[in-house]
Amino acid sequence: MQNEADPTVGWGLFANLSISDGNPNPVKWSLLAGIAGNNLIKGREHDKWGIGYYHYGLSQLLIDGLQLANIYRRSEGGVECFYNFAITPWVQLSADLQIIDPWRVEKTRETIGTIRLFTKI
């Protein structure tokens, strides 16, 4: 989707899917997908936003091999969303939220939020 007045402003979908036999590759399949772009509201075109999802499906050969060494792992996945509020074209305030199911079995779901202020030179 592009802004008719300015084709450099818009938003779009992205995705990447990979599949292997999992031997010797440690990742049998992975998926990255999301949507991101500029805010299309008039006057907020410098704002940027996005939401994405990822999943890394570990091969069963890797999981089984690690278990023999008493190392327990699982596939990992997560979601991230962000919004960059352009105070000026060169000063932005950004908020980011990530929710991750980590590959370490003993770890529970992690939720991480950040806020940052940055400048472009």
Give me the DSSP letters along 24-79: S-SEEEEEEEEEEEE--STT-TT-EEEEEEEEEEE-HHHHHHHHHTT--B--EEEE
Instruction: Supply the pLDDT for residue 3.
Output: 76
pTM above 0.85, yes or no: no
Averaged pLDDT, groups of 10, the chain, 121 residues long: 82 96 90 93 89 96 93 95 94 97 93 95 81
pLDDT at 48: 94
The pLDDT assigned to 57 comes to 96
* pLDDT at position 87: 95
Identify the pLDDT of residue 2: 82
pLDDT of residue 42: 82
Cβ neighbours for 42, distance < 8 A, ≥ 6 positions apart: none
What pLDDT shows up at residue 32? 97
